[in-house]
Amino acid sequence: MLNKSNFMKKTFVPLAFVILLVSVMAVSCSKADSESTTFKVRLTDNPYNAEEVNVDIREVNVNFHDDSTGWQSLNTNTGIYNLLGLQNGVDTLLATGVIPSGSVKEIRFVLGSDNTIKIDGETYPLTIPSGSQSGLKIKLDKELNGTVDSVLIDFDANLSVHQTGNGTYQLKPVLRVK
């Protein structure tokens, strides 16, 4: 027959071991979850007086440092985006990727050469005087929250498109985090 003291010893040791094991598993699972974040970049636009403003997006990158050494490429939905279709609360998922948790300092859009504007039924090329090679950089300095986080970028066509004196159009992108 077991006395109360022996019963407590035989029950307490295995119970303490189970509690310790569950605690270790819970901590290790929460640590694994907090080491990376699924990061999403979404795109939207403000109204502009044209039929189309098409931007050729080739790549989206994020930078974790204050210099250019930490760029990481995201899975980008490459293509030509009509910014005017992304107005009045409409946006699109542009890129996503699993990145280390922490702080994202910058986002970079790399554009292709098929940028156009359509006005009165006529399509004109949009040239980019600078930024087409190194990309369009947006300072962000965003601390990531949880396992999924996102940012909405406003590619403002109204402030980005400029008609030159000779009738050509230039794209000097103005990008803002919303």
pLDDT at 124 over 70: yes
Q: Could you tell me if 61 and 17 lie in one domain? A: no
Same domain, 17 and 57: no
Regarding whether 68 and 145 lie in a shared domain, the answer is: yes
In degrees, rounded to 5, the angle at the alpha carbon of residue 96 between the alpha carbons of residues 125 and 144 is 120
Tell me, yes or no, whether 30 and 40 share the same domain: no
What's the domain range around 126?
A: 36-177
pLDDT digits (tens, 9 = 90+) for 148-178: 889 999 988 888 899 898 989 998 888 888 8
Q: What is the mean pLDDT of residues 45-70?
A: 83
Greater confidence (175 vs 78) lies with: 78
Judge if 93 and 120 occupy the same domain. Answer: yes
Average the pLDDT over 63-90 and give the result: 87
pLDDT interval class at 91 (50, 70, 90): very high
Task: Write out the DSSP string of 152-163.
Answer: EEEE-HHHHEEE
pTM score of the predicted model? 0.73
For residues 28 and 73, membership in a common domain is answered with no
Q: How far is CA 127 from the centre of its chain?
A: 25
Q: Are 75 and 24 contained in the same domain?
A: no
Q: Which residue has the higher pLDDT, 48 or 175?
A: 175
Nearest residue to 48 via CA among 155, 164, 176, 152 = 155
Cα 143 to Cα 105: distance, rounded to the nearest angstrom: 9
Question: What is the sign of the dihedral through the CA atoms of 94, 100, 102 and 108?
Answer: negative
Whether 140 and 85 share a structural domain: yes
Rounded to the nearest 10 degrees, how much is the dihedral formed by the CA atoms of 153, 155, 158, 160?
130
- Domains in the chain, number: 2
Please provide the average confidence, as pLDDT, over all residues in the chain: 79
Q: Which of 1-5, 100-104, 165-169 has the lowest mean pLDDT?
A: 1-5
**């490459």: which residue's tokens?**
78
Does 89 share its domain with 30? no
Please tell me whether residues 171 and 116 are part of one structural domain: yes
Does position 18 have pLDDT exceeding 50, yes or no?
no
Query: What does the pLDDT read at residue 29?
Result: 41
pLDDT given for residue 15 in this prediction? 39
Question: Are 24 and 101 within one domain?
Answer: no
Distance CA 86, CA 17 (A): 56
Nearest C-alpha neighbor of 60 from the set 75, 45, 38: 75
